[in-house]
Structure 1
Amino acid sequence: MTAQTLFEQALAVGRPPTVQKLFPHSRALLVSGKVIDQALRRKGKAMTMAANGRSYLVIRGALQAAQRANAALIVEIAKSESTYCPVNFWNIARLVDAACNELGITVPVAVHADHYGLKSQDDVEAAKIEIPTLFEAGITSIAIDASHMPDDRNLLANIELNPFIPYWAGLETEVGEIKGEQGLSSVEDATFLIKGLNAHDIFPNWIALNNGSAHGIEASGEGIQVELTAEIHKHLEPFQVAGAQHGTSGNSSDRLRAITSRTRTTKANVATALQMVSWGVEVNDYGNALMNEDGSFRKVAGEGVTEAVWEKMVALAAKNGWKGGNFKKLNLPVDNWLLAQPRDVRERMSKRVEDFVYQMLVSVFNAADTAPLAMELLVEAGSYDIGTSAVRLENPADWTREKIIEKAKLLDSDKGPAGDFSD
């Protein structure tokens, strides 16, 4: 079967009904997150990038890299990012679909709502209304993140919201906020969450751990704890759940290769590095932006945004007191400035992202040539829903609401310090 034939067959069956309704004439292969996860598992010792599309130019660059690498891809945005980026839960699928059609992208792409954060029961009630609107807007995968709440309430929130998530959609769950080396996840709290979900016939594709990663610019060098991750994944293996690696920026290529080869991770989130790369800031192997002696970011002349726009961005950040990781707050107010630049400047911004993502997909994540594996899964299933290999192993009678609350009291769970870790 030729690559074109495989694409045509996958396109005919692979787009979920919400995507078909929203984009009836599209030739973009937007698929469930399940498909991407299973494709990476089929290859083995491989994960793909979940590229946080903080701008349209980042989205374009990530898509072009995946096409070049022949890799299945996830494009995502987090709930908190929607507050400081022009991209949000309700327009990201439209941006991805438009870019795919314009650029002739033929690799499968999942559109993921990351870190759908829940901190109280009021948030859970609001989510029952809001989550369906995300899928109506073209989202194909979601991360229910109630990790900010105690373990029992985290599990109960996941159970309560599951009826509002389409059966075909990709699903991520989270235990332990992403706080760096503090409040690390354990085998006990991770298995508590996954066993409780399993008892209710909920089979997540991914679990995100606090395994030492940190959102934004990670300067400590501690980063992801590979052994901890591998140990937790080993205990979760009977439940057929893969890992989602958050806070990938700030970890060396060698550490990320270790996560790829030694754990069951199939999804790696990259956000801050892509933002900085697109702007023309120099980054190191860790994805960290490099600084000048005066503490300012090191902008590469002739790359990324124009020097005039960069000067305006730096001035705006200074005016608002945004330093370091808080440069992310520039995304929304400067978006018009970025899109108003000449075509060649916009294209070099996306090309810089493309080259960075391509290198990660091919040389670090082992994701090359996973696109046909995803398409084969769709064709074999003859459907946008490829199902799951997970089965119920836990007795529902052992995981009633009352027993969940009692079990949680036995957990020795260190949540780490309080604070805003929602990105």
Structure 2
Amino acid sequence: MADISSKDFDRALAVGRPPNIQTLFPNSRALLVSGKYIDMAMLAKGNSICMAANGRNQMVIRGALRAAQRANAVLIIEIAKSEGGANAYCAVNYWNMARIVDSLCNEMGIRIPVAIHADHYGIKNDKDIQTARTEIPSMFDAGITSIAIDASHMPDDRNLLASIALNPYVPDWAGLETEVGEIKGKLGLSTKEEALFLIQGLNAHDIFPNWIALNNGTTHGIEASDQGIQVELTAEIHAALVPYNISGAQHGTSGNSSDRLRRIAQETRTTKANVATALQMISWGVEVNDYGNAILDSEGRFKKVEGEGVAEEVWAQMQDYAQSQGWKKGDFKKLNLPFESKLLSQPAEVRNRMATRVETFVYKMLVDVFNASDTAPLAIDAILKAGSHDPGPKAERIETPEAWTEAKIIEKAKAITSNKGPAGDFED
């Protein structure tokens, strides 16, 4: 394992934290960095993916940080708009996540670079764009260091135009993710044509994302089928995007086998993979298989492992509450908000076993599946080489701006052949 020297860590701490982090936490020893450096570290190692752990509760965040420290790996802690936006179902949100992560890093002496990512910042209509003009700056004021502008719910031209319109509200130094195609499983799969349209249009406007997320056959939440991620489709689209130097972001990993995720690391340009539902279930003590998918009993209910995760009486209360609300297994995520205080009020030994269960799972994923071990020194090397919190743009403009005006974007989009799949709520 390549150790990080105290001298290098102190130097990275002095120059690598973005301005918002320095302002919020002037005396902190937590190395919260731009998502750009996370992407760079994975590319430097090669065939390596950073886990983006959705921090649906504080024990998940604690366990993920401990695992990354053990693996000497960089880490992204994130929350999506549905989970942690203005109408959230989690207590951890866009505006308190950085404070929670900073506090835990200082408490536990975490010395690996961590990005704070606002995932799936969804834009579905013009009203959302207007709201975003104030909401995005407020999120960066609260410590976000990376963001996914996700207008994939809209047609291709409006997706691109929304991303262009909102880019001025994202700091130049921040990590940036874009998305084409909602995550709908085998329905509405993304195409090479759609992805090129989005990335070429952004490139013409001097917007150079770190990541692109696709609908490549997976789903959010609990994966009930064996469809999963389509590795070949992902590789084909990533290959087409090579001139634009963009990495892939893999969404919906819960339920996909470890072998399939290893293939994503080895055969595609993916450097970021979101893990959400699996970590929630593991922290609660739900029985899972080797890649984090919940195991159900003969009646289709979650199986709780006695003596692991939440206290047995709390689990009973969670089940009763879900039943009183008429929630099925896919709705159990909504328990996060009403039960966060209850989870935090459990005895220390219970809170610790929740975090430890997450730590064990995340460590195995980082080391054995995502090939992410020893990427922390690579990120610190990149910070020291740049001597700044911002390594600069990932790519350069190769498209002609005059060919990508609003009128020409709308016209080009008419020629795209794609199947967006059925309408509906596919957020998690």
TM-score by length of 2: 0.98
- 1:69 corresponds to: 71
Which deviations, in whole Å up to 9, do the C-alpha atoms of 1:118-146 show, x marking residues without a partner?
00011111101110000000000000000
Task: Give the letter aligned to residue 132 of structure 1.
Answer: P
The structure 2 residue matched to 1:31, chosen from 33, 42, 53, is: 33
Percent identity of paired positions between Structure 1 and Structure 2: 68
Distance 2:136 2:113 in 1: 23
Please tell me whether residue 378 in structure 1 is matched to residue 383 in structure 2. yes
Shift of 1:99: 0.4
- 2:200 corresponds to: 195
Distance 1:365 1:315 in 2: 37
- 2:140 corresponds to: 135
Matches within 5 A, 1:204-219: 204-219=209-224
Matches within 5 A, 1:293-304: 293-304=298-309
Distance 2:297 2:308 in 1: 17
The structure 2 residue matched to 1:314, chosen from 307, 316, 319, is: 319
3-state SS, counterpart of residue 80 of structure 1: helix
3-state SS, counterpart of residue 351 of structure 1: helix
Task: Give the letter aligned to residue 152 of structure 1.
Answer: D
The answer for unaligned runs of 5 or more in structure 2 is none
Shift of 1:9: 1.1
Shift of 1:2: 5.5
3-state SS, counterpart of residue 215 of structure 1: coil
Equivalent pairs, count: 423
Matches within 5 A, 1:270-309: 270-309=275-314
Distance 2:256 2:425 in 1: 21
- 2:414 corresponds to: 409
3-state SS, counterpart of residue 129 of structure 2: helix
Q: Is the 8 A contact 1:118 1:146 kept in 2?
A: yes
Shift of 1:81: 0.5
Which deviations, in whole Å up to 9, do the C-alpha atoms of 1:302-351 show, x marking residues without a partner?
10011111111111111111122211010011111111110010000000
Which deviations, in whole Å up to 9, do the C-alpha atoms of 1:24-53 show, x marking residues without a partner?
110000000000001100100000100000
TM-score by length of 1: 0.99
Distance 1:386 1:333 in 2: 41
Q: Is the 8 A contact 1:116 1:144 kept in 2?
A: yes
Task: Give the letter aligned to residue 83 of structure 2.
Answer: E
Q: Is the 8 A contact 2:81 2:119 kept in 1?
A: yes
Task: Give the letter aligned to residue 405 of structure 2.
Answer: T
Task: Give the letter aligned to residue 47 of structure 2.
Answer: K
Please tell me whether residue 108 in structure 1 is matched to residue 113 in structure 2. yes
Q: Is the 8 A contact 1:6 1:372 kept in 2?
A: no
Distance 1:313 1:131 in 2: 33
3-state SS, counterpart of residue 279 of structure 2: helix
Which deviations, in whole Å up to 9, do the C-alpha atoms of 1:222-260 show, x marking residues without a partner?
100000000000000110100000001010000000000
Please tell me whether residue 335 in structure 1 is matched to residue 337 in structure 2. no
Shift of 1:286: 3.5
Question: Aligned pair in 2 of structure 1 residues 78, 254: CA closer, same or farther (>3 Å)?
Answer: same
Shift of 1:378: 0.4
Distance 2:316 2:299 in 1: 16
Q: Is the 8 A contact 2:115 2:146 kept in 1?
A: yes
Please tell me whether residue 397 in structure 1 is matched to residue 399 in structure 2. no
Q: Is the 8 A contact 2:76 2:115 kept in 1?
A: yes
Q: Is the 8 A contact 1:215 1:246 kept in 2?
A: yes
Matches within 5 A, 1:160-309: 160-309=165-314
- 1:17 corresponds to: 19
Q: State the Cα RMSD in Å.
A: 0.8
Shift of 1:411: 0.3
Distance 2:301 2:265 in 1: 33
Distance 1:281 1:67 in 2: 25
Task: Give the letter aligned to residue 352 of structure 2.
Answer: E
Distance 1:255 1:6 in 2: 36
Which deviations, in whole Å up to 9, do the C-alpha atoms of 1:198-218 show, x marking residues without a partner?
000000000000000100000
Question: Aligned pair in 2 of structure 1 residues 389, 337: CA closer, same or farther (>3 Å)?
Answer: closer
Distance 1:276 1:379 in 2: 38
Q: Which runs of 4+ in 1 moved over 2 A?
A: none
155-164 vs 380-389, which deviates more?
Answer: 380-389
Question: Aligned pair in 2 of structure 1 residues 2, 105: CA closer, same or farther (>3 Å)?
Answer: closer
Distance 2:427 2:299 in 1: 29
